Structure 1
Amino acid sequence: MILTMFLALVVMVCINVPIAIALALAAVLAIALTDGSGALVAIALEMYAGAKSFSLIAIPMFVLAGAIMNATGITRRLIAFVTAIIGFIRGGLAMVNVGVSLFFAEISGSAVADVAAMGSIIIPEMKRRGYPAPFAAAITSSSASLAIIIPPSIPMILYGVSSGASIEELFVAGVVPGLLGAAGLMGTAYYYAIKYNWPTEDAFNLKQLRATFIDALPTFALPVIILGGIFGGFMTATEAAGIAVIAAILIGIWYREINWPQLKEAMLDGGMQTAVVMLLVATSVLMGSYLTTARVPQEIAAAILDLTSNQYLILLILNIFFLIIGFFLHSAAAIILVVPIITPLIQQAGIDPVHFGLVVTLNLAIGQQTPPVASVLITACSIAKANIWEVTKWNLPLIGVLLFVLIISTYVPAIPMFLVEYFYR
């Protein structure tokens, strides 16, 4: 029966049935054949119960906060400020791209939202300044995917809900690897800039730095509220998301620069993204319920532990597995579909679920850069009007940076986990 269910799921995905619908149909088929049609009565209640988690409310809130940022000139002010700091370095605009991407992701939590907001402003500017369009798309895409391990991260929220791990601890675990990855991306951009003699911006100007800092000052309240509230233990991630929306609205009122059509479009797009995620969560509950009843997760855990009980080998196997599924599944679908199945393995192997959550998120961040799915890469290519394969050639060294961060975070757990140990344990 398990084989029949998975074959039905694969066939539906191959014929382009949306993953959420395919999950629901496969689960309903398996439940009906195993337990009879009477077991289908409670399906709607199970789906509702799975999608009403308090933690999931953070997702639309963070997406909305990002939309408000982009519609009120906040993003443009951030770019101006970071340009005043490092724009004078050769290839500085590419480094600005990375820096602002990390800041923006601290509010939106979404790599796709990051690319859509940032890319529409900075990619045309990079092209105008003489950067190749494929590189502009590559650095925007890779920095946005790296940024999903910086709190608040929507994939981490989904992982926390799926595995039961602490979302706040997941956020803290992502800080150091995110900063290491940002340094690596900036270093790669600098190497390219020297090699191809890309431009610098205006010379460093303290007066301009002061002016852009004062102009962007209200914006800095957003990460202080979000990260300070979460790390200080004053609020949960969901509460911080709601506060971030209110703060973004107040900052927009302060600037008196709200672009209503743009805000409406961004909110509608964010609403659709949220609906897709929530439907995935709801339908995955059916699949998870059936698989748990059939003891599939426990059998998978036992099979792998029969091969090896070494944590590092298990992490290697799971890294390869997640890298492969990252080629074919969006991060939300991969987390919701796979994490509940392998959670018993993680528990039995004695692997810290917070550490593993960071590993999963990094794997799926790399998957956002690798065709054929590559949702973030495709968005950046669309904005830059660049061929996806040309962008991928420029992107390979940047993906190498992400892989390095993945390896060091996997096998030197003290790097991502020492802040978690300091604050929470």
Structure 2
Amino acid sequence: MDVGILALVIAVLLFLRVPVGLAILGPCVVWAMQQGLSVGYTVSTAFTGVNSFPLLAVPLFILVGVLANRLGIAERLFEFCLAALSRVRGNLAYVNLGTAVGFSWMSGSALADVAGLGKIQIPAMRRAGYPMGFASGLTASSSLIAPVMPPSIPAVIFASTAAVSTGALFAASVIPATLMATGLLIYIAIWTARRPEFTSVPFDARRFWRASVRVLGALATPVIILGGILTGVFTPTEAAATATVWMLILGAFYRTLRLKVLLHALKETLLITGGIMIILASAAALGLILARARISDTVADSLGALTDNPLVFLLLLNLLFIILGAVIDATAIILVTVPVLMPVAIQFGIDPIHFGVITIVNLMIGLLTPPVGSVLYVTSSVTREPVDVVIRGIAPFLIPLAAVLVLINLFPDVVMFLPRALGF
């Protein structure tokens, strides 16, 4: 079985909805056996791919996000934003975005964001008269800030795969994530300006004060995570572990931490992490095959013959990720394509950190696109609306997200300014 046939078999299995990890690992084992390699060697390679200290941050960051949902911290963020923005016309739309931004500093997962906050935000907006398409589209789109803003789980996986600094990638992601939030903010302002029926309510200082006190502990979480990493006090894995302990302390202080809640949070984290780790392991086995076949050299020669312009290469790269993101899981794409494309990007003079941010933003937008976009289906489940209704609601929000993607491609300094300023 040559690499072309291997790729075709994997693609067919993915199309048939075979779980991503098994769709990759099974053909890899068959290929290894045909090449005279033992099954044990292939399995050992897969295990080595996940036996990594930096990857310990993945389940810990997932647990932080799950605990934030289950311990009522997401509700406290929502109440704070609602109290702070009460006088703004169309305030619930801004509250939706503000809560997503605040929650993104604690959760590196779009699915955790839309599953947790969507249950609060969408019903509140529907009761206030917002159309279902707008409410669901905004909730789904704003959830993409979480996997871009640190602590970003895709960034941890990319950094481990590409052997780059997680801290540098975290720092580089802050401005693009902020631009995504700004783009969505502008769209909300335009949308609400044309609808005077969404009025404001008087500002209640007492309510704002109570909400501020209730949210103080939660707002310390990003200080612990990002502050600890960027100042060199913690590694990303240590920051994730510290943030997990902090969440447990907050839960005990808020009296929402109970054994049943903790067990449910651990079970949810285990299920999510198990799926990711199987994909990581299978991609490590595939990476061995791609390395033996010298695929990166072949890709570099092909692209070199096609163009020597870095901007054209980035355009092709974006098109590739948009197409792949629509049909394949984002984690699998990072693990399979980065070892191949990273050397090529470096040959074109593209900084690995800049390449990483472009990859992550592209693939996170893919979470909103059919047929595989997982955020689509979670939003549909939360709202109990057909997927086509959610897709129509999301479509206008893709415009500001695409604008940010164009911006970070054309102006690398937007991405690289903060890492350079912090000495990475």
For the superposition of Structure 1 and Structure 2, which TM-score range results when normalised by the shorter chain?
over 0.9
Partner residue in 2 for 1:219: 218
- Cα distance in 2 for residues equivalent to 1:365 and 1:124: 25
Is this contact kept in 1: 2:63–2:269, CA < 8 A?
A: yes
> Which residue does 2:227 correspond to in 1?
228
> Contact conserved, 1:72 with 1:259, CA < 8 A, in 2?
no
State whether structure 2 residue 297 is matched by structure 1 residue 298: yes
Q: What residue in structure 2 maps to residue 113 of structure 1?
A: 112
Structure 1: which amino acid aligns with 2:233? Answer: F
Equivalent runs, 1:74-93 vs 2, <5 Å: 74-93=73-92
- Give the Cα–Cα distance (whole angstroms) in 1 for the partners of residues 27 and 291 of structure 2: 15
CA contact (8 A) 2:43 2:285 kept: no
1:209 maps onto 2:208 in alignment = yes
Hey, what's the Cα distance between the residues in 1 that align with 2:85 and 2:415? 27
Residue aligned with 1:424, SS: coil
How far apart are the structure 2 equivalents of 1:279 and 1:198? Answer: 50
Which residue of 2 is the match for residue 9 of structure 1?
A: 10
Compute the displacement of 1:260 (Å).
5.0
After superposing the two structures, state which structure 1 stretch, 361-370 or 24-33, moved more: 24-33
What is the deviation of 1:255? 0.9
What is the TM-score with the length of structure 2 in the denominator?
0.96
1:273 aligns with 2:309: no
The SS at the match of 1:234 is coil
38-47 or 24-33: which moved more? 38-47
Distance in 2 of aligned mates of 1:419 and 1:211: 35
Matched, 1:127 2:148: no
Worse-matched range after superposition: 113-122 or 260-269: 260-269
Unaligned 5+ segments in structure 1 are: none
2:245 corresponding residue in structure 1: 246
In the alignment, which residue of structure 1 is the partner of 2:22? 21
CA distance in 1: counterparts of 2:309 and 2:328, whole angstroms? 28
For 1:23, give the aligned amino acid: I
Matching of residue 31 in structure 1 with residue 48 in structure 2: no
Q: Which amino acid aligns with 1:78?
A: L
Q: Structure 1: which amino acid aligns with 2:28?
A: A
One-letter code of the match for 2:89? R
- Structure 1-normalised TM-score? 0.96
Q: 1:404 to 1:419 in 2, by over 3 A?
A: same
Q: Which residue identity lines up with residue 204 of structure 2 in the other structure?
A: N
C-alpha distance in 2 between matches for 1:41 and 1:251: 45
| C-alpha distance in 1 between matches for 2:408 and 2:150 | 16
Q: Distance in 2 between matches of 1:112 and 1:209?
A: 29
Q: Provide Cα deviations, 1:192-212, integer angstroms capped at 9, x if missing partner.
A: 223234534532233322221
Please say if residues 134 and 387 of structure 1, whose CA atoms lie closer than 8 Å, have aligned partners that are also in contact.
Answer: no
Q: Distance in 1 between matches of 2:131 and 2:226?
A: 35
TM-superposed deviation, 1:262: 4.7
Moved more, 266-275 or 195-204: 195-204
Query: Structure 2: how far apart are the matches of 1:32 and 1:161?
Result: 28
Alpha-carbon contact 2:32-2:42 (below 8 Å) kept: no
Question: Could you say what secondary structure the match of 1:148 adopts?
Answer: coil
- Runs (4+) of structure 1 exceeding 6 A deviation are none
SS in 1 for 2:61: helix
- Kept in 2: contact 1:130–1:198 (CA 8 A): no
Identity of aligned residues (%): 34
Q: Equivalents in 1 of 2:313, 2:17: separation in Å?
A: 32
CA distance in 1, matches of 2:55, 2:326: 25
Partners of 1:137 and 1:377 within 8 A in 2: no
| Preserved CA contact (<8 Å) 2:14 2:328 | no
Alignment of 1:31-50 (within 5 A): 31-33=32-34, 35-36=35-36, 38-50=37-49
Q: What is the match of residue 155 of structure 1?
A: 154
Q: CA deviation at 1:259?
A: 5.7
Would you say 1:165 and 2:164 are equivalent positions? Answer: yes
Change (3 A) 1:260 1:102: farther
Retained in 2: the 8 A contact 1:5–1:27? yes
- For 2:29, the aligned partner's letter is V
Q: Deviation at 1:44?
A: 2.1
Q: Which residue of 2 aligns with 1:345?
A: 344
Query: Alpha-carbon deviations, 1:152-184, whole Å to 9, x = none?
Result: 101111111111121111111111111121121
The separation in 1 between residues aligned to 2:118 and 2:169, in whole angstroms, is 27
Q: In the TM superposition, what whole-angstrom CA distance separates every residue of 1:321-362 from its partner, at most 9, and x where no partner exists?
A: 001111101211211122122122112222101011100111
Q: Does the 8 A contact of 1:134 with 1:386 survive in 2?
A: no
CA RMSD, Structure 1 to Structure 2 (Å): 1.5
Q: How many residues align?
A: 423
Aligned mates of 2:138, 2:264 — CA distance in 1: 25
Deviations 1:19-55 (A, max 9, x none): 111111121222222x22x433312221111111111
| 1:309 aligned counterpart, secondary structure | coil
Q: Judge conservation of contact 1:106–1:152 (CA < 8 Å) in 2.
A: yes
- 1: CA distance, partners of 2:317 / 2:197: 40
The residue number in structure 2 matching 1:364 is: 363
What per-residue deviation string (whole Å, max 9, x for no partner) do you get for residues 282-332 of structure 1?
111111101101101111112102222221111111011001111101211
Q: Which amino acid aligns with 2:324?
A: I
Q: Distance in 1 between matches of 2:343 and 2:278?
A: 24
Aligned to 2:38, the other structure's residue is in SS state: helix
Change (3 A) 1:41 1:148: closer
- Contact kept in structure 1, 2:81 and 2:99, CA below 8 Å: yes
Q: What SS is found at the alignment partner of 2:98? A: helix
Deviation at 1:252, TM superposition (A): 0.9
Query: Contact (CA 8 Å) 1:73, 1:258: kept in 2 or not?
Result: no
Corresponding letter in the other structure for 2:98: G
Does the 8 Å contact 1:138/1:377 carry over to 2? Answer: no
Aligned mates of 1:116, 1:393 — CA distance in 2:
19
Matches within 5 A, 1:274-289: 274-289=273-288
